[in-house]
Amino acid sequence: MANDTTPVWFITGCSTGFGRELAKLVLDRGWRAVVTARDKERVTDLAEGRGDRALALSLDVIDDDEIEAGVKAAVTKFGRIDVLVNNAGYGYLSSIEEGVPEEVRAQFEANVFGLFAMTRAVLPVMRGQKSGHILNIASVAGFCGFPGSGYYAASKHAVEGFSDSLSKEMAPLGVKVTVVEPGPFRTDWAGRSMTQTQSAIPAYAETVAARLAQTSQKSGTQAGDPVRAGQAMIDLVGEVDPPLHLVLGEWGHDAVVKKLKDTLAEVEGRRQTALDTDYPPNER
């Protein structure tokens, strides 16, 4: 495999959902992949029968030592990392008022600080190669806040801002960045990948409580297909000039477009207020 020139993908959170489907697509193309999960046993089947093209690892993104060991193992085996997919993470839903601090911090550790740490660990490899592509899996919630998902949205907004800055730092070095924003997809996000604090305050019955119930009821019937989403990511990585943002799913696309249009109108409507807060030109 020393002369293998197929791309090497490093994908976190491969036990279920987007990560698992994407890993299968990558490996089915004959490419090489590092597939990870907190429990290696949940991803060993992905590597079976793949010869030397697959490396299954236990990796918890909140564990710096496991991140360092995982990146080292990938480079030792394959010599490079061409695509990093920061997919590991989960959702925590509650009203803002009833959010449990420990749950909020735990979500940020995985969704935000774990993603930051994983990226930092891979950047020296890509910088040395002068090439690479980082896909950060965010959410439509990175653009839009909804009742019951304030803390989840906050974590994904953080990924959006991080990715924006990262793209500008890495572009001169040959490394591309795309933040992926799925809407509702038919994964087990509402089952294994989500925790909730149920709302007990009557004032939130028609907002937070109603949305949490709706989210659970619709699990497994969403329009989004994770296999097609994985293929869209693969296609995007093959582009010469890929976008910074990739919104997936019709519902998600429409929600983001509406949010951006509404925000633009709101900001432009207050342009004079913005100008009035500057020192007058003759005082600058």
Contact (Cβ atoms closer than 8 angstroms) between residue 155 and residue 116: no
In whole angstroms, how far apart are CA 39 and each of 58, 64, 77, 116, 181?
A: 5, 16, 20, 21, 26
Residue 92, strand partner residues = 195
| Cβ atoms within 10 Å of 88's Cβ, excluding its own | 25
Alpha helices in the chain (DSSP H): 17-28, 44-47, 64-78, 101-108, 115-129, 150-170, 210-217, 226-237, 250-268, 271-276
Q: Is 152 a catalytic residue?
A: yes
Q: Which residues, other chains included, contact 186 with Cβ-Cβ below 8 Å and sequence gap of 6+?
A: 220, 221, 222, 223, 224, 225, 226
Catalytic, out of 92, 151, 152, 204: 152
| Cβ atoms within 10 Å of 191's Cβ, excluding its own | 11
Q: Which residue has the tokens 């695509």?
A: 83
d(C-alpha 53, C-alpha 258), whole Å: 43
Q: Which residues, other chains included, contact 137 with Cβ-Cβ below 8 Å and sequence gap of 6+?
A: 18, 85, 86, 87, 89, 180, 182
Q: Which of 190, 102, 187 is nearest to 149 (CA)?
A: 190
Residues annotated as catalytic are 152
